[in-house]
Amino acid sequence: MAKYALGVEFGSTRIKAVLIGEDHQPVASGSYEWENRYENGLWTYSLEEVWAGLQESYRKLSAEFLEKYQTPLQSIGAIGFSAMMHGYMAFDKDGNQLVPFRTWRNTITGQASEQLTELFQFNIPQRWSIAHLYQAILNKESHVQQINHLTTLAGYVHWKLTGQKVLGVGEASGMFPIDSQTNDYDVHKLAQFNELLKAENISWKLQEILPKVLAAGEAAGILTEAGAKLLDPTGQLQAGLPLCPPEGDAGTGMVATNSVAERTGNVSAGTSVFAMIVLEKALSKLYPEIDMVTTPTGKPVAMVHSNNCTSDLNAWVGLFQEFAEALGVELSQSRLFEMLYQKALTGDADAGGLLAYSYLSGEHITHLEEGRPLFVRTPESRFTLANFMRVNLFSSLGALKIGLDILFEQEKVQIDQILGHGGFFKTREVGQKMMAAAMNVPVSVMETAGEGGAWGIALLASYLLNKAANEPLEAYLTNQVFAAEKGTTIAPDPADVAGFAAFMERYKKGLVIERAAVDGLR
């Protein structure tokens, strides 16, 4: 069974395990639904549920494998673990958890985030592990002196199964800034942080408590006897199996969309939208709108994240659904979405002078703490259904575009192709054409785009197992995994690009209306 690779990802609402074969396609899977809990003012998951969820996911996968192949799953070629990035998991010298797991969702580190961003001249978002650590120091939390090991959820699971305190470089880049020249923590910034520790009379140095950084393809330990029992309490699974470095959901998303090479990127567009662009070199300066992480091989990645994408658009489609039902017309939601999205393609290139904001919540890129969904037009605007749908699709990408323009216009970042995935791209061609107009680069959607992060970490386990000597991850993915991949690519239409640019001028000028709505409608 050495030909199989197992990937497990701990997502925010589901733990999923995927077993892939030599052709990199899934052969069995299992999952477990879970939710974060709000306890004592913090979003958290219990360690007990981490293991219950992992074991249940693996049990379901094993049962499916047994049913399909009439043989128990006893050995696997390689294993990988992934999880939602960032957060705070601190342990003492005996391996005891010092405080409950603080997830990426907690926004309690504003003071630390601001001070570290200023100190490092490097954007440190609130969700990063180092922000959580420094906030605990600023809060004078008593557990800080006892910290022996600080890690993430993926790093924790990997440690307990192998005994190795390591992280993949992409995951590590969400804990502390990475130097892509060395594929390790930035030594200058480590020294700066250690000065803060000295001022607080803290006995340890930061590099002593952080996990060791590994790149994709490097050996990250083997499954111990105790680890095998933790994963599979039935005792069927053998120990001694190799593991790849644990990675974050950003890295596995890049792998699952073959977006790890320089000048490539991927956009995930649904309730929120984020773009991840693999850079040829680091950015010239700090931009608060842009997060810097890395690929699983350590290449710098610029991430632009917008809180609002399709939620308001979905609400409008829901209104049209009500109207159809009131007329006695039977129309499935998927058919209605398709029909309305397609209608947008027949509208004016600039959406007829209409303006919309899809802000159900605040938007950091446009400096708004709260959101108010808005639709605005002038007496001269061409108010048609096609233009209405088009402007709402455009608006879903408005804040993202402002962040991307920093990369494209100020930093002159070059990109050859974007891979799109998520609900925005579900209707054939429409989302792709809109995104191509916004980014002015070809946008592709692959058939495997929905496979997700568990598949992505399984591919990284497969890379550890099957890569040729000195074969880069980019080459492995392109030649071995995605060579026969089917998908569609749409190049930007010059008229659409000009139309989106005209819309964005209107969008930026109209932000004063959105701010007034936030202030006036409490």
pLDDT digits (tens, 9 = 90+) for 498-514: 999 999 999 999 999 99
Segment holding 184, helix H or strand E: strand 184-185
Q: Confirm if 211 and 172 have CB atoms less than 8 A apart.
A: yes
Q: How far apart are the first and last CA of the chain?
A: 61
Taking Cα atoms as reference points, which of 219, 125, 128, 206 lies closest to residue 174? 128
Q: Confirm if 290 and 403 have CB atoms less than 8 A apart.
A: yes
Q: Confirm if 456 and 256 have CB atoms less than 8 A apart.
A: yes
Cα distance between residue 452 and residue 110, in whole Å: 31
Q: What is the pLDDT of residue 2?
A: 67
Cα distance between residue 311 and residue 304, in whole Å: 18
Q: What is the pLDDT of residue 274?
A: 87
Does residue 481 sit in helix, strand or coil?
helix
Q: What is the pLDDT of residue 261?
A: 93
Q: What is the pLDDT of residue 395?
A: 97
Where in 298-337 does DSSP place strands (E)?
300-306
pLDDT digits (tens, 9 = 90+) for 435-458: 999 999 999 998 766 567 899 999
Token pair, residue 391, equals 């402007």
CB contact set of 521 (below 8 Å; sequence gap of 6+): 372
CA angle 493, 499, 501 (to 5 degrees): 105
Q: What is the CA radius of gyration of the chain?
A: 24
Segment holding 412, helix H or strand E: none
Q: Confirm if 276 and 180 have CB atoms less than 8 A apart.
A: no
Segment holding 25, helix H or strand E: none
Q: What is the pLDDT of residue 152?
A: 98
**DSSP string over 496-520:** HHHHHHHHHHHHHHTHHHHHHHHHH
Does residue 333 sit in helix, strand or coil?
helix
Segment holding 325, helix H or strand E: helix 311-326
Please list the ranges in the chain whose pLDDT falls under 70: 1-2, 448-451
Cα distance between residue 395 and residue 444, in whole Å: 21
Cα distance between residue 213 and residue 297, in whole Å: 11
Length of the chain: 522
Q: Are strands 78-83 and 247-248 parallel, antiparallel or unpaired?
A: parallel
Token pair, residue 33, equals 């639904």
Q: What is the pLDDT of residue 449?
A: 60
Q: What is the pLDDT of residue 9?
A: 95
Q: What is the pLDDT of residue 485?
A: 79
Cα distance between residue 236 and residue 72, in whole Å: 8
In sign, the C-alpha dihedral spanning 24, 26, 27, 31 is: positive
Q: Confirm if 197 and 205 have CB atoms less than 8 A apart.
A: yes
Max Cα distance, the chain (Å):
73
Would you list the domain boundaries of the chain?
A: 107-150+176-209, 311-396+495-520
C-alpha 185, offset from chain centre: 21
Cα distance between residue 186 and residue 121, in whole Å: 13
Q: What is the pLDDT of residue 450?
A: 59
Segment holding 170, helix H or strand E: helix 169-172
Cα distance between residue 386 and residue 471, in whole Å: 49
What 316-325 contacts at long range (C-beta under 8 Å, 24+ apart), as own/partner pairs, is 316/388, 316/392
